[in-house]
Structure 1
Amino acid sequence: MIYSMILFVSAIQIILHQRLKQDAALDRLFMFNRMRTYMHFVYITVHTCFIMLTLYIMAHLMQQHLSIKFYTICFVCTLIYEVVLSVLLFNVRTISHRLFMTVTFTIALIALYMSIVTGGLL
Structure 2
Amino acid sequence: MTERTFTIAEVCAAARISPARLHQWIERGQFKPIRGTRSGVARDFTLRDAIHLAAITRLQTAGLPISRAVELIGASPYQTAGQEIVCARKADVEVAIDLIAITRDVRSCLRA
- TM-score, normalising length: structure 2: 0.31
Which structure is larger by alpha-carbon Rg, 1 or 2? 1
Q: Answer 1 or 2: higher relative contact order, Cα 8 Å, separation at least 6.
A: 1
Larger helix fraction of residues = 1
